[in-house]
Every structure is written in structure tokens, then in C-alpha cells.
Amino acid sequence: MSVSEMFAALQGALGQDQDIREEIRKVVQALEQTAREILTLLQGVHQGPGFQHIPKKCQKAREHFGTVRTQMESLKTKFPADQYYRFHEHWRFVLQRLVFLAAFVVYLESETLVTREAVAEILGIEADRERGFHLDIEDYLSGVLTLASELARLAVNSVTAGDYSRPLRISAFINELDSGFRLLNLKNDSLRKRYDGLKYDVKKIEEVVYDLSIRGLNKEATAGAGGEK
């Protein structure tokens, strides 16, 4: 084989790779649009009247996740099944965003932390690496850390809306989450930096709870803790 023939063959391989990346990019753009729609919907809970419509917003968000599952099925067909990590960077960001959105919906519904297996089911992908297109553990953890920041914001807006018990529940949840992360020996630099931000979320929520205590509103919140969430 001549040098020109060798490079012609290489160009063919590069062209195929570029075609794969372009097809992935198109599906990822669709996923990003769906994620924006879900985020826009859920942002309504931060407004005063939004607290009254949390169940309805969560139901609507789950309908959008039906679209996500369809888009994920399309994404799986765009690259060889054994080359997940070769193309992982293309969908990593949007996947982390979708993990956060799924975790936020589950928290709003039950005030619990969604498992990685449950998120994978919501997104229509696998939890186990051996079974194909899956939810990487670090992507799951990154999404959970984004949830912590969102809940810190929700704690502040809850007070503004006159809901004084929710920040106490959020505080308990975030402290438990922080304890869980402390059990991990994080090696990933990006994930480690994200985790470092969790202490600021903890501090922000503690300040909200302290303010409620100073104003005497924590007693009212505690008294109403047995009511509806």
C-alpha cells in the first residue's frame, strides 16, 4: 500500500468518526432542549404560588421525561455500543443536568434522594456499565450536587413564600447528603471541586434556619412539621 493509499484510508476512518459525532450532536441538542423545558417548568416552584402546584409540576415534568427516554433510545443507536467512553464527553453535561432534574422531581415528590438505579430508569438507560449505555457514577454524583445548590435556593424562597418548615426539612436532608459525600474518597478533580461547593450550600441553609430561629419562626415551623410537606 502506498503512502497516499494509507492516508486515504485514514481519511475515510476520520470521516466516519466525524459522521458519528455529528449524529450524536444532533440528538444531544434535542436532549438539551428537553432539559431546558423541564428546568423552566420546575423553576416555577421557587415562586410563591408555585408551592401550591408542586404535584402538578412534577407530573408534567415526568411527562417530559418520556421524551427524554425516546431521545436516549435514539442516542444509543448513533455509536458502537463498546465505545461509550470514547464519545462520553458529548453527552456528559446534559446527562448530569438530567440527573439533577430527575433528582429534583423525586425530592419535590417525596423529599428523598433518588437512587442511581431509579434515575437510570427515569432516563431510560442502564445503571450497570456491563449492560450498555449507562449512568456513570460520577455523572450521578454531579447531578446530586447540583440538586444541593437548588435546594439551598429553595430554602431561601420558601421563607419568602411563608413556608417556614420546608427549610428545616431541607437542612436535615442536605446535612445527611453531606455526611454521605464525606464517606467517598473522591479522586476526580472536577467532581471534587463540585463537592467543595457543597459546604457553601450547607452554610447557606444553616443561615436560613438560624434566621428563622432568631425571628422565632422555627417554633411555628416545628409545630407545623407534622402537617403536609
With contact defined as beta carbons under 8 Å apart, do 194 and 147 qualify? no
55 closest CA partner among 113, 111, 100, 98? 111
Measured distance CA(3)–CA(63) in Å, rounded: 55
d(CA 211, CA 198): 20
For residues 212 and 17, give the distance between their C-alpha atoms in angstroms, rounded to a whole number: 57
DSSP code of residue 115: P
111: left (phi over 0), alpha (psi -120 to 50) or beta: left
Q: Phi and psi dihedrals of 215, rounded to 5?
A: -85, 0
Nearest alpha-carbon partner for 81 in 122, 142, 139, 20: 20
What span, in angstroms and rounded, lies between the C-alpha atoms of 141 and 148?
11
Q: What one-letter code names the amino acid at 179?
A: S
Question: Any known ligand binding at 220?
Answer: no
**What are phi and psi for residue 126, nearest 5 degrees?**
-95, 155
Residue 149 DSSP code: H
Q: Which residues are annotated as a binding site?
A: 150
Q: Which residues are annotated as a binding site for Mg(2+)?
A: 150
